[in-house]
Amino acid sequence: MTVAFWCVLIALLLPFVCTSIAKFGSGRFSLRQNHDPRGFLDKLEGLPRRAHAAQLNSFESIPAFVAAVVIADIVGNAEQVTQDVLAVLYITSRLLYIICYLADWAALRSVVWFAGIGLIVSFFVVSA
């Protein structure tokens, strides 16, 4: 398996880190709330609510990243090391995005989000 493919797995797991922060960071989560976790998460405030929002955004970005990695691998025009570096940079951008969301740094979060989108586009550019 390539580093880029391992990064796909990491991208798939990152939302669950966010949801754990949202649920357990609230100090109010118990197994009773697990009967309606979406309702519980929608009522959160502050850092737990931002963690939930970061979770949702992480899930939204996964399909584009996975497609970019798979397409770059299938096309095969880009060196594997280039694909691996782009994938690691994307995961780094997602980690920074989550940190910015949790810290409530909205402007910096947007910049980091655009960098992540740019990295996804880069997979297509280097594969063309």
**Which candidate, 125, 107, 115, places its Cα nearest to that of 91?**
115
Which fold is adopted by the domain 3-127?
Four Helix Bundle (Hemerythrin (Met), subunit A) (1.20.120)
Q: Are 64 and 122 in contact (CB under 8 A)?
A: no
Q: What is the pLDDT of residue 38?
A: 81
Distances (CA, A) of 115 to 21, 35, 68, 89: 24, 37, 15, 9
Average pLDDT over every residue of 20-29: 82
Mean pLDDT along residues 3-16: 98
Rounded average pLDDT over 83-111: 98
Type of residue found at 58: S
Tell me how far apart the alpha carbons of residues 57 and 59 are, in angstroms, rounded to a whole number: 5
User: What's the average model confidence in pLDDT over 91-97?
Assistant: 98
**pLDDT for residue 12:** 98
pLDDT over 90 at 85, yes or no: yes
Q: Which structure tokens are listed for 3?
A: 């580093």
pLDDT tens for residues 42-57? 888 999 999 999 999 9
The conformational region for residue 36 under phi > 0 = left, psi -120 to 50 = alpha, else beta, is beta
Query: Domain segments of the chain: what residues?
Result: 3-127
Inform me whether the pLDDT recorded for 79 exceeds 70. Answer: yes
